[in-house]
Structure 1
Amino acid sequence: MLGLLIVHISVILIFLILGWAIRKKEGYWLISGFASRPKEEQEELIRNGFPQKLGGLLIIAAIGVLILLPLMFTSFKYALEVQIGFMIIFLMGGIIYLTKYEVPKKRKRSYIISTSLFIAVVGGVVATSYFSYQGYELVTKEKSFEITGMYGDEWAYEDITSVELMEKLPEVTVRTNGVGLPTLSKGHFKVKNYGRSLLFIQKGSSPYIYIELKDKKIFINDKDPEQTRLWFEQLSEKAILTQ
C-alpha cells in the first residue's frame, strides 16, 4: 500500500509541475516535438492557446487523481482501476480535444493519430482486464494436472515434490510478470521465503494450495473454500499415487 501511495503522489506531483511549467512559465520545450517544429508553427500554436491548454489539462488531471486518492483507504475494491481509468480516458480524451488548436494543415492528421491511439490503448486495457478477470480451474488428469486460463499450463504429477494446504498466504513482495488486481493475483510474483512463484489467487479467500514442483512453485485457490479443499484432495491423492 505504501509503495502504491508513493507512486500516486509522484504522478500527481509530476503532472502538477509539468502543467505549471508549461502554462505559467512558458516551458513549451517540455511538450514532445514542440521544440523541433518550425518557428512559424510554434508561434501559431501559442496564438491558438495549444500549449497553455495542454498545461491546464495536466493540472486538472493531477487534481482529479488527488480527489480519487482517498478511495485507496476505503473498502472499495476497484479504486486502482477507477484511478487508472480516469487518467487514461481524461488525458487521451483531452489530447483528442486539443487537436482543434493544432495548426490547420496538421489538424486532421493529429486527430486521426490521437483518436487511433486512444482506441488502441483503451481497447488494450479493456481486453487485458477482461482476460485477467477470467476464471481458472485446477483440472486433474490421469498423469498430469492443468491450471486453465491466462498463465496456466500443465504439469506431470511425477514432478510434484509436495502439496500443502495453507490457511494464510505468505507475503507477496514483487510482481514480476502478472496481473495484480484488488481481488486477484495471477501470474509470476515473488513470495517471501518462497522466491519466484506462479500465483492464481483470489484475495481474502482462505485456504490456499501450495504446490512445489521440481522447477516451479505454485499458489492457487478458489473463491469457494470448499472448491479449494476439493482441489487439494484430488491433487494430493494423485501425487501420492505417483510417488
Structure 2
Amino acid sequence: MLFYIIMAVSLLAIGGMVHGLKWHFLISGYNTMSPEKKARVDIEKIARLMGIWSYVNGGVFLFMAFLSWRQVEVSMLPAMGFLVITLILMLIRAQKYDGNLYEEDGRWKKSSKIQMALVLGGISLVVLFVGGMLYSSMQPVTAVMESDQLTIRGMYGGSYAYQDITEVKLLDTLPTITMRTNGSAVDSHLRGYFNTRELGKIKLFVDTKLPPFIQFTRGNTTVIFNLMDAKTTTAFYESLEEALKNSEP
C-alpha cells in the first residue's frame, strides 16, 4: 500500500505544481530554451496535458492504495501498464504544442523526428527492462540443494550452508506482512525483504497463492520460500531435512 500512496502523492503533486501553480520551469527542456524558442511553445497547453496525465494516474494509484487498504488482492501490472501507455501518448501529443519542431509549412523538421525517435526508443528500452524484471519476478522460485549448501537463485537469492541453517519448518500460512522494505511484489509473487508482525524483518521467495511454505533460519535471518506447486515444495522440504541431518557433525 505504501508504494501506491507514494506514487499517487508524487503524481498528484507534479500535476498540481505544473498545471495548478504554473511552475513551468519543472517541464524538462522548457526552462533551458532561449526566449525565442519559448515564444514558439504553447506552454499552457503542455502544462494542462501534463496535469491531466498526472491527475488521472495519481487517481489510479490512489484507488490501488484503497484496494490494498481494504485487503483486496489485485495485481499492480494494470496500473503500471496504464502509466506507461498514457506517458507515451502524452509525449506524442505534447509535440503538437512545440512550434520549434516544425518547418514553416507545418512539416516536421528532420532533427525533430530524430529527437522523437530517441525519446520513444529510450522509453521502449525502459519498458522492456521493467517488463523483463516483472516477468523474472513472476517465475517459480528455483532452489537447489548442493553438497554442502542450499542455493536460491534469481533476484535477492543467495546460498545458505547447511551447518548454518536452523529451525526448518513447513508452514501452511505466511506470517502477517506489514511492509515491503527492499524487494518486489508483483501480484502474489514476493521477492526480497519484508517486515512482518510475528517475525520482524524476513526474506521471502514465495508465491502466496501456492502454500505450503518452507521456513528456515540462518543466524538472525529468517527465509521463507516455496516452489512451483504444493507437491514439489513438500518433497523439497523433506529432502532438505534429510540433507541437514546428514550434515550434522
TM-score with structure 1 setting the length: 0.81
Q: In the aligned structure 1, how far is the partner of 2:96 from the partner of 2:240?
A: 61
For residue 79 of structure 2, what is the amino acid of its counterpart?
Q
Counterpart mapping for 1:66-105 below 5 A: 66=59, 70=63, 73=67, 77-78=74-75, 80-102=76-98, 103-104=100-101
Please state how far the C-alpha of 1:234 moved relative to its aligned partner.
Answer: 1.2
Please state how far the C-alpha of 1:181 moved relative to its aligned partner.
Answer: 1.4
Counterpart mapping for 1:197-216 below 5 A: 197-214=202-219, 216=221
Greater length-normalized contact order (CA 8 Å, ≥ 6 residues apart): 2
The SS at the match of 1:222 is coil
Please state how far the C-alpha of 1:40 moved relative to its aligned partner.
Answer: 0.7
For residue 194 of structure 2, what is the amino acid of its counterpart?
F
Q: Which moved more, 1:97-106 or 1:225-234?
A: 97-106
Please state how far the C-alpha of 1:216 moved relative to its aligned partner.
Answer: 3.4
Q: Which moved more, 1:188-197 or 1:114-123?
A: 188-197
8 Å CA contact 2:180, 2:195 repeated in 1: yes
1:63 to 23, 42, 56: 56
Q: In the aligned structure 1, how far is the partner of 2:28 from the partner of 2:40?
A: 16
For residue 91 of structure 1, what is the amino acid of its counterpart?
L
For residue 28 of structure 1, what is the amino acid of its counterpart?
H
Q: In the aligned structure 2, how far is the partner of 1:15 from the partner of 1:27?
A: 10
Please state how far the C-alpha of 1:185 moved relative to its aligned partner.
Answer: 0.3
RMSD: 2.8
Count of aligned pairs between the two proteins? 235
8 Å CA contact 1:206, 1:221 repeated in 2: yes
Please state how far the C-alpha of 1:128 moved relative to its aligned partner.
Answer: 0.9
8 Å CA contact 2:140, 2:227 repeated in 1: no
Structure 1 residues 60 and 33: CA distance shift in structure 2, 3 A: closer
Which protein has the bigger helix share?
1
1:41 to 33, 37, 41: 37
Q: Which moved more, 1:132-141 or 1:117-126?
A: 132-141
Structure 1 residues 160 and 125: CA distance shift in structure 2, 3 A: same
Q: In the aligned structure 1, how far is the partner of 2:212 from the partner of 2:18?
A: 48
1:178 paired with 2:180, answer no
For residue 78 of structure 2, what is the amino acid of its counterpart?
V
Please state how far the C-alpha of 1:173 moved relative to its aligned partner.
Answer: 3.2
Identity of aligned residues (%): 25
TM-score with structure 2 setting the length: 0.79
For residue 152 of structure 1, what is the amino acid of its counterpart?
G
Structure 1 residues 172 and 51: CA distance shift in structure 2, 3 A: same
8 Å CA contact 1:50, 1:98 repeated in 2: no
1:118 paired with 2:117, answer no
